[in-house]
Amino acid sequence: MEEGRFAYRESLERVRKQLLDSADTQFATPDASQQVQRATQGLMRPRSRPESEAPSEGFGMGIIRGLQRVEEERVAASAPESSPRPRARPGSVSATDMEDREILALTLQAEAGGEGLDGMIAAGSVIRNRADSGNYGDGIRGVIMKAGQFSAWNLETGYAGGEGGIDMASLRASEEAYIAADKLLSGDYTDQTGGATHYYNPEVATPAWGSNTGGEWTDIGRHRFGFGDGRPGSN
């Protein structure tokens, strides 16, 4: 009987201490711990009872379990998610909902994925130059998703009935593409294109605004970089 009373008091004291510690760290108010003390003093005060009457173990354990359940729920609610949020992918969500880093890396992969880091940064330089000029769309996403500008996205923009577009929903950007995107977004790169706002692959097409219009053009990887109005670059 005496052992049961001792175990009861010991359990309450342990839970009471946990609540006091929680009040000090979680609420950080001067009287938080005092409020917990007042709330639990009645539980800790010994009651006079006949020697033959054992302490109400069910009542005491009910209080303990209730307090522990509240604490467990608080800890569970504040715990971080166990798995990272998956990256947004075109096709699963609208491209307009994607972060600039994701949409830029996918574009570099589609446009210059086989040309190494320099080739992807060169293609990305044109995107940055257009975004900085403000004449080709609003920001990185606006430039990329402007209909007829980057054929990889023709299926998304509907340009030319989607002709020449790539199934971007199944495309995965390489680690190198993300490195290039990070450099372009942070400004940690050298623009080897001379400030170009246009590029094309001369093995695939010769657009009317291409190098036959004059001006300075630079070949990097499989693409030719320059301006669509024949003016010289800034190199």
Name which of 132, 133, 137, 111 is nearest 122 in CA terms. Answer: 111
Indicate whether 213 pLDDT > 90.
no
pLDDT in tens, 74-98: 656 655 443 333 333 434 445 656 8
**Which segment of 86-100, 145-159, 204-218 scores lowest on mean pLDDT?**
86-100
pLDDT in tens, 4-34: 555 556 655 665 666 556 544 444 444 545 5
Domain limits of the chain? 2-78, 95-226
The average confidence (pLDDT) of the chain is: 75
Most confident by average pLDDT, 32-46, 90-104, 168-182: 168-182
Cα–Cα distance for residue pair 208/193, rounded to 1 Å: 20
Q: Which residue has the higher pLDDT, 229 or 150?
A: 150
Mean pLDDT, residues 189-204 taken together: 94
